[in-house]
Homo-oligomer: A and B are copies of this chain.
Amino acid sequence: MYKFPHRNILDADQFSRTDLDFIIQKTKIIQKLFKQGKTFGMLRGRLLASLFFEASTRTRLSFESAMERLGGRVISTVGFQFSSISKGETLYDTMKMVEAYADIAVIRHPVEGSSRIAAGAVRMPVINAGDGAGQHPTQALLDMFTIEVEKGKVEDLTIGFIGDLKYGRTIHSLVKLLRHYNVHIIFISPEELKLPDSYKKDFKDSVLTYEETNDIKAIWDCDVIYVTRIQEERFADHKEYERLKEIYKVNKELILASKKNTTVLHPLPRVTELSTDVDDLPNAAYFRQAEYGVVVRMALLCLLLNVEIHE
């Protein structure tokens, strides 16, 4: 009998294909229960510590919404308000304290690896909500769940990733999950922002196949198009940024020239890389992505707190 084997959610690497199938299955049940108004009460009396050492309103509200919709409660802190830290307290000590106050913690931190340090300090479950240039595993899980719901499967798909593949944390976490699936990925980016080799090495023993291109028209062949933002601060040359920003822009015209049922994803927030004229197309799934994020996080909170999810 399979039992969810994880105490924490720290890294997309930690999941086996069996884990992912299980998370998808349980999230679908949560989704159904939530629509029927039956989730409220599942985490009654449980307390989530929402620890955002750097601001990330979207992720914070998503987790807090997930906890509240399960009937749980939240204690929350954001950024420099975390006054003990400014007095020189270590993350280890902070977590020891938080463990006295809550049953589970979600942590966002500017320093890579800090969520692992946090988890090591305590017996309660810890969820990494993004640590520096590191992982953002629940974003990857919600992206995967979005593909599952929108396409009906995460198999036999061509998935295009566009934009900043070098620094984009969400993409790095998502491709780690996709290694477990029989999909073909097209990485579409300027030379300067290609996926780092370290990630490509990971693909060797996987069923996933991939190609790389700098031609945005490659999206025409994709079943799923995942758009990410190119950030100005990555470029020494402002003009080069302006030039590339215009090239790697997804708009209605491009989508209409693509496969009819192609699904457009974006982790949000978007700026100019994804035109608002795409919003009204049935292909636009990025606002639904936010909804899927809440149910995925509801499922994870239940799994980590050993609360059974069944219809």
A interface residues with partner B (beta carbon < 8 Å): 37, 40, 44-45, 47, 49, 55-58, 60-62, 64-65, 68-69, 71, 73, 75, 77-84, 87-89, 92-94, 96-102, 268-271, 276, 287-288, 290-291, 293-294
Contacts and interface: CB of A to CB of B under 8 A. Distances in A.
Number of this chain's copies in the assembly equals 3
Contacts of A78: 81
Nearest to A62: B101
A293 B100 contact: yes
Contacts of A98: 61
Nearest to A291: B100
Nearest to A40: B45
Contact of A65 (B56, B75, B290): B75
Contacts of A96: 287, 290
A93 B47 contact: no
27 contacts: A49-B61, A55-B82, A56-B83, A57-B81, A57-B83, A58-B83, A58-B84, A58-B97, A60-B77, A61-B75, A61-B77, A64-B75, A65-B75, A65-B100, A65-B102, A79-B81, A84-B269, A87-B271, A89-B270, A89-B271, A92-B276, A93-B269, A97-B287, A99-B290, A100-B288, A100-B293, A101-B294
Nearest to A49: B61
Contact of A77 (B57, B75, B100, B270): B57
Nearest to A266: B93
Most chain-B Cβ atoms within 10 A of its Cβ — which of A44, A81, A291, A293? Answer: A81
B55 A44 contact: no
A89 B269 contact: yes
Closest 9 CB pairs of A and B: A89-B269, A100-B290, A65-B101, A55-B83, A40-B45, A100-B291, A84-B269, A68-B73, A88-B271
A37 B47 contact: no
A99 B268 CA distance: 14
B268 A97 contact: yes
A164 to B, nearest CB: 13
B97 A290 contact: yes
A259 to B, nearest CB: 25
Nearest to A37: B45
A112 to B, nearest CB: 19
A310 to B, nearest CB: 20
A56 B102 CA distance: 17
